[in-house]
Amino acid sequence: MPAVHIDRKQNTVRIAARPNIEPDSQQWFSWLDRPYNQEFYVTEDGIYDEVEIFTAHKRKDGVWWAHDDDSTDKIVLRLGKSPDVTKQKIISVSNEIQAQNAKKALPKIEKILNSNIGRNNQQIFQKLKEEAEEAISRTKSEQ
């Protein structure tokens, strides 16, 4: 399954195996429309490594859907038909999924920070808290 990577520092979205295909270009939409291209996953740089944010699946009606099956509650958001699956749409859906997950995780992170485990690993949990707060604020700025 191909990977599409978001680089927030450079504000780019690219197909990992095909970095020469620019999002929102005719090649991009042709790639999405290929009959054998029924899914891809979206990644982003995390604290230590690349993190998968969601998997996109194209249904028989040609509509792409973003699925985050790793969260406690399954999240499914509509991306749209191929012409709708733009760089901005991928980033927006990614932000929404991350914000929903962050809202669920933040109380747990804060609880851990106040425990012995959190105090012993303060830097790690503080960074997690900051990333969760940042994910939530990104969706607020889009609204």
**Per-residue pLDDT tens over the stretch 74-94:** 889 999 999 999 999 999 999
Alpha helices (H) in 13-56, listed in sequence order: 26-33
Query: 82, 85, 55: which is closest to 68 by C-alpha?
Result: 55
Q: What is the pLDDT of residue 79?
A: 96
Residues of the chain falling short of pLDDT 50: none
Which helix (DSSP H) or strand (DSSP E) does residue 69 occupy?
Answer: none
Q: What is the pLDDT of residue 46?
A: 67
Q: What is the pLDDT of residue 142?
A: 66
Q: What is the pLDDT of residue 114?
A: 77
* pTM, entire model: 0.79
Chain mean position to CA 142: 15
